[in-house]
Structure 1
Amino acid sequence: MSSSREKGSFSKTSIEKETYLPDIADEKVVDIENVHEESSDSENELDADVAELPKVVREIVPLEDDPSTPVMTFRYFLLSFIFIIPGAFISTMNSYRTTSAAYSIFFVQIASHWVGKWLARVLPHKKVKIGRFSFNLNPGPWSIKETAMVTITASSGATGNQGTSALSLAEIYYGEKVNAAVALFYMWAIVFVGYSYAAIARNFLLYDPQFVWPQALMQTTLFQTQKRSDADSKLGSKQMKVFFAVLIGVTVWEFFPEFIFPMTSSLAFLCWVAPRNKTANFIGSGLGGMGFLNLTLDWSNITSSIMLSPYWIQVIQFLAFVVGAWILIPAAKWGNLSNFKYGLMSNSLFMSNGTSYPTSQLLTADFRLNETAYAELGKVHIGAQRAWNMFFDYASYISGIIWVVVFGYDTLGNSFKKLIASFKDRKSNKGALSINLQYTDRLNKLQSKYNEVPLYWYVVLFLASFITLLVIFATGQLFMPWWCLLVGLGFGSIIVTPLAWLYALSNFQLAIGTFNELLYGYMVQNSSVRHPAGAVTYGAIAGDAWYRAQYILQDQKIAHYMHLPPKAVFFSQIFGELIGVPINYAALRWVLSSKRDYLDGTKVDPLHQWTGQSIVSYQTNAVQYVILGPKRLFSNYPMLPYAFLMGAGAPCVFFALHKLFPNSKLKFRLWNTTVFFSTLSIFFGNVSTGYLSQFIGGTITMFWAFRYRHNLWKRYNYLLAAACDTGYNLAILLIFIFFSAAKTVSMPNWWGNNAVSIERCFALE
């Protein structure tokens, strides 16, 4: 088989050239020269600066630019407010649900474009003066760059906030409500720390064309579709019709699994065959069992990940699910994998007889361990699945770092050399590095027309955030010693680049919270400040150093593709969070006031949605890491430390296999152990529906359609993903408005909404 790499057409060859594709499990699909049928130009016919770009980028990203196009307009600011407020509320609300689909940034992308064009028609062409400043209400036709700016701003502000976890934990379990001003500044500061940390990785991963950032490329595809539609393109018009048809259809349908017909959210076929058989019910149930052959028709259990994540990522994740749910769970329940048979799929803590552990009795007034009570109550037990969740969580964290070291050493090394060169060849651009000028591809040449963000902007943002957090912790306003802040920021700076490397290639985001909380437990064992909520507070700081850095880098890659001024983009991301954080806090207050009975266990949600599993998990971690301490945890579960050895060794094994068998059909470089371990660490067994449906859907979209119907896939895959996510979120919003906002209205029980079990698994214990 002939490929561009074999012809030596690219000036560089590396693993990253192959890993950006939605499906690279087969070499025929890796050969992107053959799958994109619309392009027939040979590499030799392309300009040198264009040939340096990956083929998929050349086909999607515009390679011309008009720097005179306005982007920071009155219309931009107005639409940013309109789309951030509901997104920030929904995203925070969803964090307390067991499953949900994220507030669709595609909805913002589509809707803001249409509203923007409407504003361009109806707003007066009037100049407004406010003091020394002036602006035009309607500077001209709505541009795709304005759409991109609104989308990037919403991507920043219309999200959840990790700070709500610590605030929720303290209030639900310990009755402590944090002052609203402290909460807001804490939430702002942890976000802006992450934004400032983007400066660490951007020179490695942003300008280099081989890092395509799959989601950024996907959103660019939608922008280009919208642009074609504006030009009266027949194809663009048809795509928009398909988008809105699917959006309306999904919106109407989601009323059924979410309210009218909840049985469709978990189709447990084995329960239908044997509704009174305990074993069959446990094996088939997706809401409390293994979920074997269980399907779902609820988009919240599927999500657009089946249309976004590369197929090789979805294969690894499904294999991890099979291992966790269909192998380890029955081995623990009916075999000898675990001696503790209670709470198999629970995040809670238990007594030796299986009853809930009275953790409140373990605390003294100063939040230390009550040794006398602990001796009387006995050892704290965790369910078997919770134990291996922790094991694989530790392994995934170490694996993420080692995998990048062994597989990404050459690539990051080359980027580092370019970074050094940029210091030597510094441009007089108000202190900004000219790293993008070290690359000679067309996109970096186009972006060189704009002033880069000065490095001191990131430094100032970091110092402001750091001082805010330091004051909060030094004055005892939150639950953590001030010096732990320094450690958290130090660890955050280490992981930004390796984890962003993984995300830039695969669209996979590694969850890192439990490892951070374990480290915090070691740090505070002899500290005078040992509030249980301190662990999740520390995790939010160290975690957001990575999570928010990833967000800002991804959006800056979109800006790179869409030729937006870097300084305007940087401002838009800060602006988005200034709007979003107060809405996050308002949503937190609404959830705790209206859903608290479900979250604290007083009542059981029949849909198993308002369970606050993440808060329960944080509480379990708080008891284990802060109250009892890691030493007791590892003493009770001596296998846990071996997770670090597995996390370090597994990437090395696959790297060795890749070197020994570089042309093997098994593609050892794709079997990313970080993805496998991380999936095993986040799986919750009491909601095992959706995984099989996801894999089936992903096989259709990212394997079959991508390979055999590629032109159709390229036109509609991302549009359908956007439409489905948007329809789901609109349905959830309407259900909230119609049935919860003023007075709670419950759906009457019927055959499809059984009061005992909506799955009709009547023997499930």
Structure 2
Amino acid sequence: MASTEILHESGKPVGDDGLLSEKEADSDSQHDHEELDNFDDDSPIDDVRVTIPNHDDPSIPCNTFRMWFLGLLFAAIIAFVNQFFNLRQTTISIGSSVVALLTLPLGHFMARVLPTRKYTILGWSFTLNPGPFSIKEHVLIGTMTSVNAGSAYAVDIVILQKLWYHDHKHFIAGLLLVWTTQVTGFAFAGALRRFLVRPAHMVWPANLVTASLFRSLHEHSDAAEDANRIPRMKYFAIVSLFSFVWYWLPGFMFPTIGVISWICWIDPSNIVLSQLTGSAGLGLGTIALDWSAINSYVQPMVTPWFAQVNILVGFVLVVFVMVPWAYYTDLWHSKNFPILSPALFKQDGSPYDKDRILDANRVFDRQKYLEYGPMRMDSFFALTYGVGFAALMATVVHVVLYHGKELVVRWRSAQHELKEDVHTRLMRAYPEVPNWWYGVLFAITISLTFVTCVVFKYMPWWAVILALAIAIFFVLPVGIVTAVTNQQPGLNIITEYVIGYIMPGYAIPNVTFKTYGYIVNVQALAFTSDLKLGHYMKIPPRIMFAAQVVSTLICSSVNLGTATWLITTRPYVCTQQGYPFTCRNTNTFYSASIIWGAIAPARVFGHTDGALYASVQWGFLFGALIPIPFWYLHKRFPHIRWLGLIHWPVLLTATSSMPPALPYFYANGIFVGFIFAYWIRRHHHRWWARYNYLTSAAMDCGLAISALAIFFCLQSWGGAFPHWWGNPQDELIDHCPLATAPLNPPPKQTGT
């Protein structure tokens, strides 16, 4: 992939978040329109000029049989693979970069073997082979996957209902729920085009990386540049083969080397040592040799080193300072619980039985709650909510302090920028998606949303309106921040909080409200981001619209079908006995449904019925205040460079995925990040620019193929590797089994 220093349109280097400092924004804002005048034949943004060509050939084919066949095929395959691994102990997510590399030779192969004969149906002429496989076809294939790369969020609601709440709704109910949450956001993109796609200043930096990848795969470099270097496709194949072969060791034959908690070997019977160093505890010194653990959350070969340093600082402060202090001082009776667990407990440390506080209609019963006792969680879980509150406020305050004036400039330019840049002018060659297409899509999806939520009793009609209102209200400001800074604030905490106070006691309506309020916003911006990629790569908007909507309907169906198959065929799925299908993400989702829905925030973080975690809400105030002194110091001492690199939103969101993520995922990921994102990039930049992203994609691809081969060829047929000391009888291997033990174990049950 091409590697360039990211510059502002003024030619000045920008920070890692893609914005100028406040002072530079002030001096630069008055020249916005003048810059456009100076770049009539190119983009006024330097990042875009060096990445995106300022010309286009409208005759290049893109709406082809090859595109639809490969795009839908691989989108469905990736949807299956990602959903399959989403329920496993360590998750794997295959992104569009892997699909781009895999489909390139297939596209060229189809261009060679498909017939060129023209067919006519009802007056419409077409051919299966319009010529060489084009970059526009390839971009459409990749974007079909990118918008569906993860599991559909609403699938967890279906799993939750069946496994935890014993509410077996018809498959159609779950399908409509998944479809509407995934597609409704697309309807908002029509209104966002004017503000987030067409203006030159709405850059969407991540799309420049994607565009660089596709251009590197299709544009030929000169022979001198490629001399004495391994071709990209050959390198990708070699690394993928290595990853495929290696994963057979930690994934099947020698699982004890997947994660090595070597410090615990000093005294495995010591609970404190196990809690601090065990892989299921805080993981101090734990070594991971399983790529799925290393790459799960940090993505060390892709995430910039600046961001990884902020993640490291936040990780250390929470995991190795705040949590041990809270746990070993017995804050909130922490010693009664494991040091790290997404589970919920009674005060004595015994598991919390949510059935004891729900009535026959699966609704919260206050009298039963008072008789049974309040819900408790471990200190790690509680603190991560407090840090999450702080991160939400810090994001707002940080953007206002550091980049407020520039964002106002961007907003005004998005509203009033009459002078079009070259890319907007080039896109005039293609018919725009009519507004009525978006209107019809919105009418259909909103109607199906009301039917889904009201008929199948997911939540009341007024909750649908409120959830969508939150998504719509935040979509433009969040979109502007994302388009300029490449950072996207999440709305999950806000939505849980709002419905938790308005409608306490109802778990499924709570998570449904959260999904519509949060994911509709996410999907709207995901589709808008892809529209911007199409804008850069000159993809006809109508074809992009059709490809994304069709692929999302298919992929969300595959997500739901895969999850339904797994939870109905795998014994003990989503429990420790069902390893490796322990559903860490879904277990955390379940705990959130109890905390925010069944019991509600007033009884957890408020002052009702013995709420214990009210102090966690101070995180809101902390997050609002903490960026201010660092902003002042940065303004007061601009020559101290490291002050400008402190990014509290990134720092505070470092632990937002724990649980379900485990600490050793982060520690090992950042170690790999130091090697590739810092050392190799700094000292061997040419290798990094050519092979870094290919290495990450190849490792992901080889591991995924290996894990699927192990499961479908062996494990699904009852095949198992012979037991030996490297593969003991207990499938859930942990060198420190006491890492999940509480210091004060609950009393033994003597009866029912």
Instruction: Quickly say closer, same or farther: Cα 1:501–1:491, change in 2 above 3 A.
Output: same
Shift of 1:143: 0.9
Instruction: Quickly say closer, same or farther: Cα 1:604–1:69, change in 2 above 3 A.
Output: closer
Q: Is the 8 A contact 1:21 1:310 kept in 2?
A: no
* Corresponding position: 1:610 with 2:581: yes
Aligned-residue CA RMSD (Å): 3.0
Shift of 1:204: 3.9
Match 1:513 to one of 492, 498, 516: 492
Instruction: Quickly say closer, same or farther: Cα 1:149–1:610, change in 2 above 3 A.
Output: same
2:265 maps to what in 1?
Answer: 272
Q: Is the 8 A contact 2:45 2:201 kept in 1?
A: yes
Q: Is the 8 A contact 1:418 1:438 kept in 2?
A: no
Q: What is the letter of the counterpart of residue 726 of structure 1?
A: C
Instruction: Quickly say closer, same or farther: Cα 1:557–1:596, change in 2 above 3 A.
Output: farther
In structure 1, C-alpha distance between the alignment counterparts of 2:440 and 2:398, rounded to whole Å: 33
After superposition, residues 384-423 of structure 1 pair within 5 angstroms as 384-421=379-416
Instruction: Quickly say closer, same or farther: Cα 1:172–1:740, change in 2 above 3 A.
Output: same
Shift of 1:177: 1.9
Shift of 1:201: 4.7
After superposition, residues 229-244 of structure 1 pair within 5 angstroms as 229=220, 234=226, 238-244=231-237
Superimposed CA distance per residue, residues 33-92 of structure 1 (whole angstroms, 9 cap, x where no aligned partner): xxxxxxxxxxx9x98357755544434333332111010001111112320221111222
2:614 maps to what in 1?
Answer: 638
Q: Is the 8 A contact 2:155 2:560 kept in 1?
A: yes
Q: Is the 8 A contact 1:97 1:611 kept in 2?
A: yes
Match 1:348 to one of 323, 343, 347: 343
In structure 2, C-alpha distance between the alignment counterparts of 1:716 and 1:362, rounded to whole Å: 55
Q: Which SS does the other structure have where 2:336 is aligned?
A: coil
Shift of 1:226: 1.2
Shift of 1:559: 1.8
Q: Which SS does the other structure have where 2:93 is aligned?
A: coil
Q: Is the 8 A contact 2:9 2:45 kept in 1?
A: no
After superposition, residues 374-453 of structure 1 pair within 5 angstroms as 374-421=369-416, 438-440=419-421, 442-453=422-433
Match 2:172 to one of 175, 181, 201: 181
In structure 2, C-alpha distance between the alignment counterparts of 1:302 and 1:333, rounded to whole Å: 26
With 177-186 and 197-206 compared, the bigger mean Cα shift is at 197-206
With 106-115 and 403-412 compared, the bigger mean Cα shift is at 403-412
Q: Which SS does the other structure have where 2:120 is aligned?
A: strand
Q: What is the letter of the counterpart of residue 560 of structure 1?
A: H
In structure 2, C-alpha distance between the alignment counterparts of 1:739 and 1:553, rounded to whole Å: 42
Match 1:363 to one of 358, 364, 378: 358
Shift of 1:502: 4.8
Superimposed CA distance per residue, residues 84-110 of structure 1 (whole angstroms, 9 cap, x where no aligned partner): 221111222222234322123222101
In structure 1, C-alpha distance between the alignment counterparts of 2:489 and 2:495, rounded to whole Å: 13
Superimposed CA distance per residue, residues 11-43 of structure 1 (whole angstroms, 9 cap, x where no aligned partner): 64788x433579x99xxxxxxxxxxxxxxxxxx
In structure 2, C-alpha distance between the alignment counterparts of 1:563 and 1:674, rounded to whole Å: 34
Shift of 1:234: 4.0
Shift of 1:498: 4.1
In structure 2, C-alpha distance between the alignment counterparts of 1:686 and 1:353, rounded to whole Å: 25
Shift of 1:318: 1.6
* Corresponding position: 1:678 with 2:653: yes
Shift of 1:229: 5.0
Instruction: Quickly say closer, same or farther: Cα 1:225–1:93, change in 2 above 3 A.
Output: same
Match 1:292 to one of 284, 309, 313: 284
1:133 maps to what in 2?
Answer: 124
Q: Which SS does the other structure have where 1:129 is aligned?
A: strand
Match 2:465 to one of 479, 486, 490: 486
Match 1:532 to one of 495, 507, 514: 507
With 700-709 and 398-407 compared, the bigger mean Cα shift is at 398-407
In structure 2, C-alpha distance between the alignment counterparts of 1:588 and 1:359, rounded to whole Å: 23
In structure 2, C-alpha distance between the alignment counterparts of 1:415 and 1:567, rounded to whole Å: 27
In structure 2, C-alpha distance between the alignment counterparts of 1:50 and 1:402, rounded to whole Å: 38
Superimposed CA distance per residue, residues 441-485 of structure 1 (whole angstroms, 9 cap, x where no aligned partner): x4334334333334443333222211110122232x042111111
* Stretches of structure 2 lacking an aligned partner (at least 5 in a row): 22-34, 742-752
Q: Is the 8 A contact 2:196 2:414 kept in 1?
A: no
Match 2:726 to one of 752, 755, 761: 752
* Corresponding position: 1:462 with 2:442: yes
Match 2:518 to one of 525, 531, 543: 543
2:71 maps to what in 1?
Answer: 80
Q: Which SS does the other structure have where 1:128 is aligned?
A: strand
In structure 2, C-alpha distance between the alignment counterparts of 1:180 and 1:763, rounded to whole Å: 41
Q: What is the letter of the counterpart of residue 485 of structure 1?
A: V
After superposition, residues 647-658 of structure 1 pair within 5 angstroms as 647-658=623-634
Instruction: Quickly say closer, same or farther: Cα 1:55–1:727, change in 2 above 3 A.
Output: farther
Q: Is the 8 A contact 1:559 1:566 kept in 2?
A: yes
Shift of 1:377: 1.5
Shift of 1:230: 9.4
Q: Which SS does the other structure have where 1:480 is aligned?
A: coil
Aligned residues: 711
**Superposition TM-score, scaled by structure 1 size:** 0.86
Q: Is the 8 A contact 2:87 2:583 kept in 1?
A: yes
Q: What is the letter of the counterpart of residue 175 of structure 1?
A: H
Q: What is the letter of the counterpart of residue 753 of structure 1?
A: N
* Corresponding position: 1:219 with 2:210: yes
Match 2:678 to one of 699, 703, 718: 703
Q: What is the letter of the counterpart of residue 393 of structure 1?
A: G
Instruction: Show structure 1 runs of 4+ deviating over 6 A.
Output: 230-233
In structure 1, C-alpha distance between the alignment counterparts of 2:485 and 2:246, rounded to whole Å: 31
Q: What is the letter of the counterpart of residue 751 of structure 1?
A: W
Q: What is the letter of the counterpart of residue 250 of structure 1?
A: S
Q: Percent identity?
A: 26
Q: Is the 8 A contact 2:118 2:127 kept in 1?
A: yes
